[in-house]
Structure 1
Amino acid sequence: MSNHHNKMSDYEEIKHFFHDEMTMMFGGFGGVGSPPTILNHLLKWGVKDLTIIGNDTGFPHIGIGQLVAQNRVKKVIASHIGSNPIAGRLMSEGKLEVEFSPQGILAERIRAGGVGLKGVVTEIGVDDPYLNKGKTFLEMDGNRYLYESALVAEVGIVFAKKADTFGNLIYDKSARNTNPLIAMAADITIVEAEEVVGYGELDPEEIVTSGVFVDHIVLSKGVDWKWAWEAN
């Protein structure tokens, strides 16, 4: 890139990163903190057979939940799917593969992927046949543990309150959730920002995600959270 300080892109410029059968990580918790405009474009572009990694499957009409509801997702790795009844139905019908990971473990698996670890070792799930199914057990210090593999993805989509043109990011309160971890763990990180300022305009002390993790920034067309929550 000729000017490394400017990662601004339009939506057509990021389109080629998304394809059928890809692995994609997404920020958000119940829809809050998920990038709405990127997700709307994914619906338009028609990508399908996705493997998605994130906290949950949102709601049927919001964010990532829409991709699930339209049967575009073949596998999800998440901590729960309870707020999206369509996800539960597809799982029961064998049309959606779901790998459940306890929330803290999921976050740590993503973080491990971001910092180059191969996985994490935990006691959580050792005695739970639902959580340890197909997993590797380790014996250490006379105790039994589970090995949980690190998680990475081809593309990570992130939602930020404010970015500078280099990709340094600030998040909006709880919408921060898994976004900083996902920014680290994806090969290509695409950020949807509500506001973009010039390089050097953010207070370094407020920056949560360093621009070294960010490849592309698109400007958000906005989301009305009040409507989103009332719709459910």
Structure 2
Amino acid sequence: MRLQKYIIISCIIILILSLIGIFATEQNNKFYDLSTGVFTGVVLTGMTSIILFLYEKNKIINKLYNNFAEIYFTLCVIDKNLGNFLIKKEITDMNFRINYKLTMEIINTIKEFDFDEYTSFFDSKFNSLLEQFLSFNLKLYNLHNIVGERNQGVLYHELTLKDLELKRLQGIAEQMLLPYEQQVINDREALLILIGKLHEYVVSLKLELTSNLTKLDNYHKFKISWDGRKSLLEKQVQELS
């Protein structure tokens, strides 16, 4: 993309110079022919570069759309997992670990798209959209970090439960275990609150991504509109066991 942009700019400059040359050397056949030859070559090169530029731009926009549609699907799965987690309140590392793996998939999807591939060329609207997606990427990295922290919290809670059970098996009196058990219960409630806030954060990310993809769809007019694709993705999530 950047190469085509520079070629187009160079062609415009040479085109202007060759036009000046054509008019300035109209009485000199030798230089006139040279100027017209340069003009023709520059026009052909410029047209080819513009076609390649538009082709690459279209390819990149579709890649952006597909990648973030995939991210939306993953966010929906995380949303569903956290919702079930909060309803059942079964705090186990095995149940929660899947969410960390899913956020890792999101990060890998982000890395597949190189925002530097596209350099603006008289297209402030698309530049604005790119900035919104770039800003959203930072929030996805933040999500990954938060899920990692909650995963550690879930693992710690599971270990304390096992430790409590071990103490019971060792014959330690229940009366002596009451303070420890109460602390485990308090930690569990605090952890559920944090996971609830995480769930709210995921929902907010889904809404923001929906807004961004709607804007991108309005800009490019994809064959399958975002509303249609969003419905299909959400249906697929609901069908997951």
Looking at secondary structure, tell me which structure has more strand per residue: 1
Specify if TM > 0.5. no
Looking at secondary structure, tell me which structure has more helix per residue: 2
Instruction: Please give the TM-score of this superposition, normalised by the length of structure 2.
Output: 0.21
Instruction: Please give the TM-score of this superposition, normalised by the length of structure 1.
Output: 0.21
Structure number with higher relative contact order (C-alpha < 8 Å, ≥ 6 residues apart): 2
- Which entry has the higher C-alpha Rg, 1 or 2? 2
